[in-house]
Amino acid sequence: MSDKQPLIGIIMGSDSDLPTMQAAIAVCEDFAVECEVAIVSAHRTPERMVEYAQTAHTRGLRVIIAGAGGAAHLPGMVASLTPLPVIGVPVATRHLQGIDSLYSIVQMPRGIPVATVAIGNAQNAGLLAVQILASSNPELLEKVQQYRQSLSQSVLDKQTKLEELGYQKYLSQMSSSK
């Protein structure tokens, strides 16, 4: 993915969503996939949301990740305005811990899907977006396979360490590294 054309659009309803959404940006950086990042509020900038969503595919984007909290209408409304796949990230809220965001995003009507990840899990949104692109890009697909292998290896490494240290030392090392 050498050219600078963004392929993944990462949008969020507010800058207060950025600490959550940064994990999706980090995934794009790790896989060297160009992304664009924007604050697009369904409620505070509805015209901007319509413009963004309707032009996304004409600007070369292939997937949109949309994070929102509370009355989280951004992913669903953007999905209704674009032919691109949309991945929703429910952002955790102070009063309802993101259950409100999750229900707002996941309960889409038939015909307008939004792929929804776990509350706060923007990393998975980034990975899913990369995998969507990888399905038609062998080089990126190989990187996804390598990432999966590194995940498996990290679990095996933990098992080796657990056997070496025993659970009590393992736990104390875990708490001291926090």
Q: Which residues bind ligand RP5 (CB under 6 A)?
A: 12-14, 16-17, 41, 43, 68-70, 91
Up-side HSE of residue 148: CA atoms within 13 Å toward CB?
A: 10
Which C-beta is closer to ligand RP5: that of 40 or that of 129? Answer: 40
| Residue number with CB closer to ligand RP5 (41 or 131) | 41
Q: How far is the CB of 132 from ligand RP5 (least distance, A)?
A: 23
Closest approach of ligand RP5 to the CB of residue 176, in Å: 34
Nearest to 92 by CA among 113, 112, 118: 118
Smallest distance from the beta carbon of 138 to ligand RP5, in angstroms? 36
Toward ligand RP5, which CB reaches closer, 27 or 105? 105
Alpha helix positions (H), the chain:
18-30, 46-55, 74-81, 99-106, 122-134, 138-165, 167-176
Inter-CA distances, 116 with 7, 77, 88, 97, Å: 19, 14, 5, 16
Shortest distance, position 155 Cβ to ligand RP5, whole Å: 33
Considering the complex, state which of residue 3 and residue 15 has its C-beta at the smaller distance from ligand RP5.
Answer: 15
